[in-house]
Amino acid sequence: MYLTDSSLKHSQYPRRRDKMQPWLFGLTIEMMLLLIFLIFILSLLIQGIFLGIGLGLVNGKNREIGSTFVTALLISLVIWIPCLGCFIAWYFIKSRHEVGWGGALIAWILGGIIQAIVMILLIYVFFGAIFVALFSSLIPWMP
């Protein structure tokens, strides 16, 4: 005898719901926000350190670690402004560390390039399996 929907009573067999549980969804959002916050803090630390190194190459003054971290924080807050963010970031470097526009640009580029390389390497070290999966799906296998 085959069971049909009419022969099952709802009280005997509860229906399975395919919806995600609210607490699981909230936990996922919290974990994602925590990960974004940690990446921002790590990026800020790396940017502050390598901005100080870049300022050393262009003979910038006021290169203490606290001053470069404050500059890195200001840069990361204004860099999101479209079209003007880069110029405001260069102005912060120029005014806070007493270098010219060219020196501010070079220090910013050096700090940004080194920061990008270090962040990619850190992500590769901690999330290497994701990179392997992404790149292996992009590269076709030999027949």
Task: Report how far residue 143's alpha carbon sits from residue 141's, in angstroms, rounded to the nearest whole number.
Answer: 6
Residue 127 resides in a domain = yes
Residue corresponding to tokens 């790590």: 42
| Furthest CA-CA distance within the chain | 88
Residue 104 resides in a domain = yes
- Per residue in 22-62, pLDDT tens? 544 555 777 778 878 888 888 888 888 988 888 888 888 88
Residue 8 resides in a domain = no
The amino acid that residue 114 corresponds to is I
Residue 101 resides in a domain = yes
With a threshold of 0.85, does the pTM exceed it?
A: no
Number of structural domains (the chain) is 1
- Segments in the chain below pLDDT 50: 23-24
Parent domain of 107: 46-138
**CB–CB of 47/77 below 8 Å?**
no
